[in-house]
Amino acid sequence: MSAQQIISVNTDGTYRLNSQLLQTILTREDVKNERVAIICAAGPARKGKSFLLNFFLRYFQHKRSADWLRVNLDEHLDGFNWTKGSEGVTTGIWLWSEPLKMSAQDGGQICVFLMDTQGINGNENLLALSTVLATVTLYNSRHGLKQNDIEIFHAATERGINAVENENPVQKLIFLIRDWGHAHAHSFGFEGGNEYLEAVRENHELNNTLGQHFTQLSSFLMPYPGDVISEDDFEGQVKLIEGEFVKSLDKLIPGVVNEIEVNTVLRTGQDVYKRFNDYFAALMQ
Ligand SMILES: Nc1nc2c(ncn2[C@@H]2O[C@H](COP(=O)(O)OP(=O)(O)OP(=O)(O)O)[C@@H](O)[C@H]2O)c(=O)[nH]1
Ligand SMILES: [Mg+2]
Atom of ligand 1 nearest to the CA of 236: 29
Atom of ligand 1 nearest to the CA of 84: 27
Give strand ranges (E) for 43-119.
Answer: 93-96, 100-103, 109-117
Please, what are the domains in the chain? 3-284 (3.40.50.300)
User: Average pLDDT of 100-105?
Assistant: 97
The confidence band for 216, taking pLDDT boundaries of 50, 70 and 90, is: very high
User: Average pLDDT of 135-146?
Assistant: 94
Residue of 5, 9, 46 best suited for mutating to test ligand 1, as the one with most atoms within 8 Å of CB: 46
pLDDT, residue 85, reads 79
Residue of 143, 120, 131, 113 lying closest to 53 (CA atoms): 113
pTM: 0.96
Q: Tell me the residues surrounding ligand 2 (ion) with CB < 5 Å.
A: 49-50, 89-90
User: Average pLDDT of 171-196?
Assistant: 97
Residues at CB less than 6 angstroms from ligand 1: 45-51, 82-84, 88-90, 119, 178-179, 222, 224-225, 229
CA of 267 relative to ligand 2 center, distance in Å = 26
Q: pLDDT tens digit string along 155-169?
A: 999 999 999 877 788
Candidate from 111-120, 208-217, 251-260 with smallest mean pLDDT: 208-217
Q: Which residues contact 192 (CB under 8 A, 6 or more apart)?
A: 180, 183, 186, 221
Helices (H), the chain: 19-26, 49-61, 124-133, 147-163, 190-202, 205-213, 243-258, 269-284
CA distance 54 to 41: 11
Tell me what the pLDDT averaged over the chain comes to.
93
| Cβ(55)–Cβ(82) below 8 Å | no
Does pLDDT of 122 surpass 70? no
